[in-house]
Chain A
Amino acid sequence: MHDLLRVTWAVAAKDVLLEFRSRSAFVSALVFTALVLAIFNFARDPTAVSARDLAPGILWITFTFAGMLGLNRAFALERENRALDGLLLSPASRTAVYLGKVLANLAFVGAVEAVALPLFALFFNVPVLPVLGPLVLVIALATLGFVAVGTLMSSMAVNTRLAELMLPVLLLPFLVPPVTSAVQMTAQLFAGRPFSEALGWLRLLVGYDVIFVAACILFFESTIEE
């Protein structure tokens, strides 16, 4: 167990450090966020559609895209340097490699989300601060769900002929439950509705996370065994 944690942390730290040094994916994700903000702002008639109605959906589109950017980058890096082979030759358990990658991806997506959220609050004039606690919980749970499945999918996608193009094809159906839950809960929070009304979605999201994190840990081994 101690070994597992140690290796997980090592894998995560290495990935995060690599990304921090190049920063290219992070910058791309932020640029996309700004682009989305600007486009949606000019795409709607302010008197007909309130920013508050659009904000949850747009927020999650941005988070999802940032997530995919991070996911692609993570394994592509490995492939370029054949670094994954080195990892696998080590006695480190496959689970530790998977969890390490998930952690690194969470750090990346989390960083983008941390920057994007205040920007959204600003430009869409949505009341984030009063509901910050529950909102962060929702964001964390949904991000965990799609990063867990996304990490598994990208470990397969990167070894196919289509690589980056393959990831959205594989991943998008799996994003429906967590992102739908997140959007609905976000919308309710922004509308100031009591959190108790969102319990159904919360249960769905937690259930999804539990089942799919467990399944991905179980099946990650099958995506890399030689």
Chain B
Amino acid sequence: MTPVESAERALRRAVPWIATSLALIAAVYVRALAFTPAEAAQGPAQKIFYVHVPSAWVAFLAFGIVGGVSLAYLLRKDPRLDLLAESAAEVGMVFTSVVLVTGPIWGKPIWGTWWTWDARLTLTLFLWFVVLAYLVLRGAVNEPERRARYAAVLGILGALLVPFIYASVYLFRTIHPMPVILRAGGPTLPGAMLATLLFSIAVFTLFFGVLLYYRYSLARLADARAHAAAERRDA
């Protein structure tokens, strides 16, 4: 099977998985909205948690993948690793954006303000900026080999940055205490809420994996096509 054919097959195989994931997300929605009790003190807005938290987890997972795969690329120089990093960054961007959109919508009714410089949201914001820089950098370099190298360097440095931003925010909040972030149900989540959260995390992780696979296969296909065309020209 040629690279082009194998990439095309990967794309076709992924489509039913995408459909399944979307259906599962719908199931999460139904379960969270209709079959999970609301938290008495915070009201129904607390349920945003079931979309916000899994998205945040995936965003950081994606970012970790970008960092790790970037390092692997610099070591092995395999162009497929570069395509994988690119895919993880793009898909991760989507999840990060959802975190940044749902965060304030959750914040306003619960804490009275659209934005608080709390650790998770601030970290996510800067994650968003780094992924944006990553994607913009990729868009601004024409030669594939240099683009891959530059992106890899930025990906690794970005991953290194994360603990420092977290530490900055943490230190800042220690010195300038802010309103305590209400946890969804107190120190431990009641059973039904925990189950919904775990279900949601599993579904969104699956959704991410499927999107990543599709996006990666798309990149492989475009790359294989370009190579095939170049070979034909040379022949």
Interface residues of A (CB under 8 A from B): 149, 152, 156, 159-162, 166, 169-170, 172-174, 176-177, 180-181, 184, 200-201, 204, 207-208, 211-212, 215-216, 219, 222-223, 225
Contact = CB atoms under 8 A, between A and B. Distances in A.
A149 B157 contact: yes
A212 B129 CA distance: 18
Contacts of A208: 164
Q: Is the interface of A mostly helix, strand, loop or mixed?
A: helix
Interface of B: 74, 126, 129-130, 132-133, 136-137, 140-142, 146, 149-150, 152-154, 156-158, 160-161, 164-165, 167-168, 171-172, 174-175
Interface of B is mostly: helix
B137 A177 contact: no
Contacts, number: 83
Given A222-B149, A223-B150, A170 B133 contact: yes
Contacts of B161: 173-174, 177
Given A156-B153, A162-B136, A208-B164, 20 more contacts: A156-B154, A159-B146, A162-B140, A169-B132, A169-B137, A170-B154, A173-B126, A173-B129, A173-B133, A173-B165, A174-B161, A176-B164, A177-B164, A184-B171, A207-B164, A212-B160, A219-B74, A219-B153, A222-B152, A223-B153
B137 A160 contact: yes
Contacts of A170: 133, 137, 154
20 contacts: A156-B154, A160-B141, A161-B140, A161-B141, A162-B140, A166-B137, A169-B133, A172-B129, A173-B126, A173-B161, A173-B165, A176-B126, A177-B161, A180-B172, A200-B171, A212-B160, A215-B156, A219-B74, A219-B153, A225-B149
